[in-house]
Structure 1
Amino acid sequence: MKKYSKVTPEGTKDLLFEECLINRMVEQKLSQVFVSRGFHEVVTPAMEFMDVFDPETSGIAPEIMYKMSDRRGRLVVMRPDSTMPIARLAATRLQNEEKPLRLYYTQRIYRNNPNLTGRSDEVLQSGVELLGASGKRADLEAIATAVEALSHCTPDFRLELGHAGFFRAIAAQLPISPEQREDIRSTIEAKNYAALNTLLDGLEQTRSVAAMRRLPRLFGGEEVFAEAAPLCGSEEAASMLEYLHSLYRSLVQLDLGDRLMVDLGLVQRNDYYTGVVFSAYAQDCGDAILLGGRYDNLLSRFDLPMPAIGFSVNVDAVVKLLAEQGYAPDCPKPDVLVFGPEGCEMKALLFASGVAAQGGSCETSVFETEEETMAYARRRGICRVAVVGDTVREIRLENERGKGESR
């Protein structure tokens, strides 16, 4: 026997029964929200040329991509992100469509996480991209859609707002290399205060260094804006902070209460974010269940510059959260088990088709005898058996012990 013939690759798993039902339920709820908001579904290939995910633009390191080559020797990767392929799609097949484009998707991404045990390399995401729209109205629509989508799946979540440009505006005032900037960014993202202080201690202690030191601690409610205002060392940073504050004041009307937070330390690795960024977290779930933000420069890389904003929901994380909360839908049982004695097999199949056509659910028996069929029905808890011959004889089973009567 092959050594790995009975296991799945690291970072992947099989989904069974109840997990599949919860999965489909979450997908359907999200899709219903997206469609009701005027978004249209698209699907991109699971395999893309690596050029689509240029690390300098995408912020996705090459080592986390699953790579292969096509028959011409060109480098192909398993899709590690959905936004980049949708940007490619918008710039090619949809370039002449009326703007804005309202697109949504439900598809898997693939990332190699060798040092992150417990995380999946294959993740189902569902999200939207609003392409060709800028300004406050578009930002509010995207965030409000994200809140509505999550609320239909799990009401217990926290929404955090930040601004990708705020970190860059402060970092631009520091005498650091791109590599040092990335080291600082990663320590802020991890809220690793000790490592951040070590990196900043080697710099001249200016107002900008003090602001960068404070950045991961600027987390909380509306009071964060007053705390951050004195740290703005440029008009650009002050303008970003004021814009984010205006979004916050509008989003208060969503009645999230203290579940609406500000986090100026939101500095995700994806380099294509340019404006507002937002994420959602649920209790007992370490990773974000939703990530999103504005990316106004990404489409120019595909020769069709336009503003854009979007978000993605980690469907797998939401499914796991619901399962841990005790949500366990029953696997549906067929309304009737249909058995055709020898010579009547096709009559049984045609009868089953008729039941299905009328909206019922049924299963046809593959057993040779009525006795075997009845025993199977009892084991499965199927309450009705239809024996289809020259006539149809229905047998009702009162309970799993098999007490019943014919009629």
Structure 2
Amino acid sequence: MKRYDLITPEGTRDLLFEECAAVRAVEERLQKVFRAKGYSEVITPGLEFYDVFNMKSRYFPQETMYKLVDNKARLMVVRPDSTMPIARMTATRLREQTLPLRLCYSQSVYRNKPSMRGRSDEIRQTGIELIGSASGRAELEVLSNALEVLSSFETEGFRLEIGHIGFFKALLSKLGCDSDTAENIRGLIEVKNYPALNDLLESIGDNEVTRALKQLPRLFGGEEVFAEAAAIYSDPETDAVLADLRSTYEKAVSLGYNGMITIDLGLVNRMDYYTGTVIKGYIEGCGDAVLSGGRYDKLLSEFGYDVPATGFAVNVDAVARAELKRVNFKPVPADVLVFGTDGYEAAAVAHSRKLISEGLTAETAVFDNIDEVRSYAAKKGIRRIDIVSEKITSENL
């Protein structure tokens, strides 16, 4: 029988030294931004009951979740998403809190995607949820935070894409197709697979709606997208969506990030989850989106608490990998290596504490003779050795 005790499961990996430093630096930077805006941190369990994610809209297909049973044979999952557990927690433990709620988190999610080789099944996320406001001001706050976050990363450039799921949903409702066909259309638009999308829509028929859906993946760019979208399809519902999106876009541009913000009406990911504005953020050096989110006004109602919400999550691992290419996160050697001669081991520990209280980093040597201590210090790049005996002497290397 083959043993797997020396490798990690597919889709996971160990993080070492500078990778850990990069991940922590990104998390701390994001949390600092969020705390300054009044967001309070929450942590949800790594294990949740399957029912939390098996809602009417089925936001997460069961085959993408890691499943197990507890000692009562109840089906559980390893957390595949942070927003739905936070929705559960809000609908129960935070139900009496004054709205709006501003919540933030840093935790891992786990998604089983065997078909996507090279992708991580374990993803470290940091994000925010603004719960209890349907106002455009809430939209603007989330966009402002997303732009501030993207601009804080140690990369050469970034881009925030803004869309609105309502435009696609309005077209789809007029097409009258079954749910499987609708999901196929959505998936092809999301990945911008023009040939396959054209073939599928032609099999449905040639009409104003199918022609508009064919053009949807191409509707991305600047302010000109609004006129282009109105030209391919216009009725009171889609006109209202475009007006809402234009207002959001203009307010976002007014924040001072003109040139970094684009419109993309082909943002149709998780259409049963999002209900309004959707966003994706990209940075230099990373091909996939590192930030995603949007408005999800119906999610909490599935937990019995009908309040609107919006938010986003950042893929911390992806940002950290991109920043490692540009920023030096290599571990810094200790300032001092402290060695206690025989009988003075405890005194060496006390001396290390004193150095640390003075703002230095100090290692306590665990070797039995000074030659080994000097050899270790030279290999590690530690420039000073403090030798503790009846008195304390220092050697500079």
- TM exceeds 0.5? yes
Secondary structure of the residue that 1:202 maps to in structure 2? helix
Residue 112 of structure 1 aligns with which residue? 112
Q: For 1:94 and 1:301, how far apart are their aligned partners in 2?
A: 16
* TM-align CA RMSD: 1.4
Contact in 1 for aligned 2:165/2:271 (Cα 8 Å): no
Q: Encode CA deviations 1:144-187: one digit per residue, 9 max, x unaligned.
A: 10110121124511110100111111100002111111110000
Equivalent residue, structure 1, for 2:69: 69
Gaps of 5+ in 2: none
Superposition misfits of 4+ residues, deviation over 6 angstroms: none
Question: How far, CA to CA, are the matches of 2:337 and 2:230 in structure 1?
Answer: 70
Q: Aligned-pair distance for 1:261?
A: 0.6
Counterpart position of 1:93 = 93
Q: Does 1:363 align with 2:363?
A: yes
Aligned pairs for 1:332-347 within 5 A: 332-347=332-347
**Counterpart for residue 9 of structure 1:** 9
- Partners of 1:231 and 1:135 lie apart in 2 by 29
The question of 1:41 aligning with 2:33 is answered no
Contact 1:170 1:233 in 2 (8 A): no
Partner of 1:394: 394
SS at match of 1:81: coil
User: Take 2:92 and 2:197, find their aligned partners in 1: how far apart are those partners?
Assistant: 42
Are 1:110 and 1:121, in contact at CA under 8 Å, matched by a contact in 2? yes
Contact 1:60–1:270 under 8 Å retained in 2: no
Measured in 1, the distance between the counterparts of 2:281 and 2:324 equals 18
Q: Is the 8 A contact 1:69 1:76 kept in 2?
A: yes
Q: CA deviation at 1:233?
A: 4.2
What's the CA shift string for 1:113-171, capped at 9, x where partnerless? 10111100000000000000112110010011011012112451111010011111110
TM-score calculated relative to the size of structure 2: 0.97
Q: Quick check: 1:83–1:129 contact (8 Å CA) kept in 2?
A: yes
Structure 1: which 5+ residue stretches go unaligned?
398-407
Question: 1: CA distance between counterparts of 2:165 and 2:73?
Answer: 37
- Are 1:55 and 1:61, in contact at CA under 8 Å, matched by a contact in 2? no
- Give, as a single letter, the amino acid of the residue that structure 2 aligns with 1:72: K
Task: Give 1:400's aligned residue.
Answer: none
Structure 1 residue aligned with 2:53: 53
Contact 1:273-1:296 at 8 Å conserved across structures: yes
CA contact (8 A) 1:336 1:385 kept: yes
User: Matches of 1:139 and 1:257 in 2, distance apart?
Assistant: 18
Task: State whether residues 229 and 238 of structure 1, in contact with CA within 8 Å, keep that contact through their aligned partners in structure 2.
Answer: yes
Aligned length, in residue pairs: 396
Per-residue deviation, 1:219: 0.8
d(CA) in 2 for partners of 1:55, 1:198: 32
1:55 is displaced (CA, Å) by: 5.5
Aligned to 1:381: 381
- CA 1:193 to 1:230, structure 2 compared with 1: closer, same or farther past 3 Å? same
- Inter-partner Cα distance in structure 2 for 1:106 and 1:390: 48
CA displacement 1:206-232 (0-9 Å, x = unmatched): 211111111111011110000001333
1:106 is aligned with what amino acid?
S
Q: What is the one-letter code of the residue matched to 1:140? A: L
Structure 2 CA distance for aligned equivalents of residues 360 and 270 of structure 1: 53
CA distance, structure 2, for counterparts of residue 230 and residue 3 of structure 1? 61
User: Structure 1 length as normaliser, TM-score?
Assistant: 0.95
For 1:377 and 1:284, the matched residues in 2 are separated by 36
